[in-house]
Amino acid sequence: MSEKSQFASKIGLIAATVGSAVGLGNVWRFPAEAQSNGGAAFLLLYIICVFVLGIPVMLAEFSLGRASRSDAIGAFKVLSPGKPWWCVGALAVLASFLILCYYMVVAGWTLEYLVESIGTGLYSHLDEAGGSSLHGIFAAKMQEYVATDAKPLLFTYAMIAINIVVLLGGVSKGIERLSNILMPVLFVILVLLCGVCLSLPGASAGVSYFLEPDFSKITPGVIVNALGQAFFSLSLGMGILITYASYYPSHTPLTRTSVIVSLLSLLVAVLMGLIIFPAVTAFGLDKEPLQGATLVFVTLPEVFANLPWPRLWSSLFFLLLFVAALTSTVSIAEVSVAMLQDRLRFSRRKAVLCVMLPLFVLSALCSLSFGSMSDFKLLGMTIFDLLDTFTTDILLPVVSIGVCVYVGWFAKNKLLSEQLSNAGTLKARHTAVTMNIIRYAAPALIALVLIYNYL
């Protein structure tokens, strides 16, 4: 077998892992969830979920990947040969592939909005309708960009093609290089837009609108949301972190990496809120219902149209979204690619094509869920919604529980301590606490989430 790929540098492996974690979950789901579920109270809860549960589970996934140097299925096969634990890995691969199918569509929208912002599309014909119905205009544009057949499909295909090019480049020359270039771009745009939005008149009202703590909003449902959001935005339960850690060199400190990745992902989520809400309140747009997709595709273009140089801000903002989406799609595609390379000994090229070519049909079905197939429902849901619900509500929690139970109870006792201490070369005083969380708290709480979703 060919030499196992590795990330070439410390910065590169962090950029790639942060690139995976920072996705649409942070950039649009988090701000909207936080604002409607208690502001700073939700943020606090979210931070607790990330640090108390998210990081230990992340460490469990990292340990599996790096100890086995294998893909999500192979990790279990290498560490417990002849046992059925590889099924947990198989579910992770399934989850990641199904998520890839629909996430690619949303990623395509970000590219579409980027292109339409750079060109004149998004901001054309604004004067004809008069300023008062800007909302209506952008809502109609969203309808055109998202809910017709041809256009969004074209951009989904473009996104698949970009992913293919990056993945064919391999781990260090494709994924790592892409992340090394794009992650700094993402942070620069983020800080720039934050500066612009926070200096708008009335920005402080936006900040309090976003973060005003309201502990009375913290209900069991909100706790379940926060936990689900934390796990999704750390890319847990998808096999991504097992796969990426299999490319980490043996001297990489796993704990430090997990803390850096979590902090950066948290930072992006909070900065996004500090971009969105001051902008929205500055123009009195907080009266409209603010929800994930409409918030970024309708309300924010409305904000940009009110600023000088709307196309500049809009292009930067959608470039940010596009970068976040792209680095996430390659990470989730890599799970299946690595699996085919390691399990079936496919060449990189064959593996990439086998994973990506079916998407031209499967993602198309998800894209058409907003267009001519919107009436086609299974279990009362469009194909897009069905995949989203089945993966986030069922598969991801099941995989995370599987990982915790395996690492906590069935894997070789020393797996975690050896990985956290890099075979004894690092101090890892937190190993016992981490192990207890992986054994008891994490699986129990994730199981509660699973049950709660179905009550």
Q: CA angle, corner 98, sides to 26 and 382, nearest 5? A: 90
Q: Which of 13, 16, 21, 338 binds ligand PHE (CB under 6 A)?
A: 21
- By C-beta, is 329 or 400 nearer to ligand PHE? 329
- By C-beta, is 6 or 329 nearer to ligand PHE? 329
- The first and second tokens of residue 351, run together, are 């593996």
Our finding on whether 399 is near ligand PHE (CB under 6 A) is no
Q: Which of 7, 15, 17, 23 binds ligand PHE (CB under 6 A)?
A: 23
- By C-beta, is 23 or 38 nearer to ligand PHE? 23
Q: Which of 6, 26, 225, 262 binds ligand PHE (CB under 6 A)?
A: 26
CA atoms within 13 A on the CB side of 253: 9
Q: At its nearest, how many Å lie between ligand PHE and the CB of residue 30?
A: 8
Our finding on whether 99 is near ligand PHE (CB under 6 A) is yes
Our finding on whether 450 is near ligand PHE (CB under 6 A) is no
Q: Which of 24, 45, 106, 274 binds ligand PHE (CB under 6 A)?
A: 24
- The first and second tokens of residue 146, run together, are 């998202």
Stretch that binds ligand PHE, among 15-23, 199-207, 292-300, 302-310 (CB under 6 A): 15-23
Our finding on whether 420 is near ligand PHE (CB under 6 A) is no
Q: What Cα–Cα distance (Å) separates residue 399 from each residue in 73, 145, 205, 361, 450?
A: 12, 34, 41, 26, 11
- By C-beta, is 50 or 435 nearer to ligand PHE? 50
- By C-beta, is 21 or 43 nearer to ligand PHE? 21
Our finding on whether 232 is near ligand PHE (CB under 6 A) is yes
Q: At its nearest, how many Å lie between ligand PHE and the CB of residue 232?
A: 6
Our finding on whether 103 is near ligand PHE (CB under 6 A) is yes
Our finding on whether 233 is near ligand PHE (CB under 6 A) is yes
Our finding on whether 281 is near ligand PHE (CB under 6 A) is no
Stretch that binds ligand PHE, among 20-28, 246-254, 356-364, 423-431 (CB under 6 A): 20-28
In the block, tokens 């901001």 appear at 123
How many CB atoms within 10 Å of residue 378? 9
- By C-beta, is 22 or 411 nearer to ligand PHE? 22
Size (the chain), residues:
455
Our finding on whether 246 is near ligand PHE (CB under 6 A) is no
In the block, tokens 């001297």 appear at 251
Our finding on whether 228 is near ligand PHE (CB under 6 A) is no
- By C-beta, is 238 or 415 nearer to ligand PHE? 238
Query: What is the sign, positive or negative, of the torsion defined by CA atoms of 229, 324, 54, 239?
Result: positive
Site for ligand PHE in 315-334 (CB under 6 A): 328-329, 331-332
- By C-beta, is 329 or 382 nearer to ligand PHE? 329
Our finding on whether 190 is near ligand PHE (CB under 6 A) is no
Q: At its nearest, how many Å lie between ligand PHE and the CB of residue 329?
A: 6
Our finding on whether 20 is near ligand PHE (CB under 6 A) is yes
Asked if residue 20 lies in contact with residue 216, where contact means CB atoms within 8 angstroms, the answer is no
Q: At its nearest, how many Å lie between ligand PHE and the CB of residue 396?
A: 10
Our finding on whether 106 is near ligand PHE (CB under 6 A) is no
Our finding on whether 227 is near ligand PHE (CB under 6 A) is no
Our finding on whether 314 is near ligand PHE (CB under 6 A) is no
- By C-beta, is 331 or 382 nearer to ligand PHE? 331
Residue numbers at the binding site for ligand PHE (CB under 6 A): 20-21, 23-26, 99, 103, 232-233, 235, 328-329, 331-332
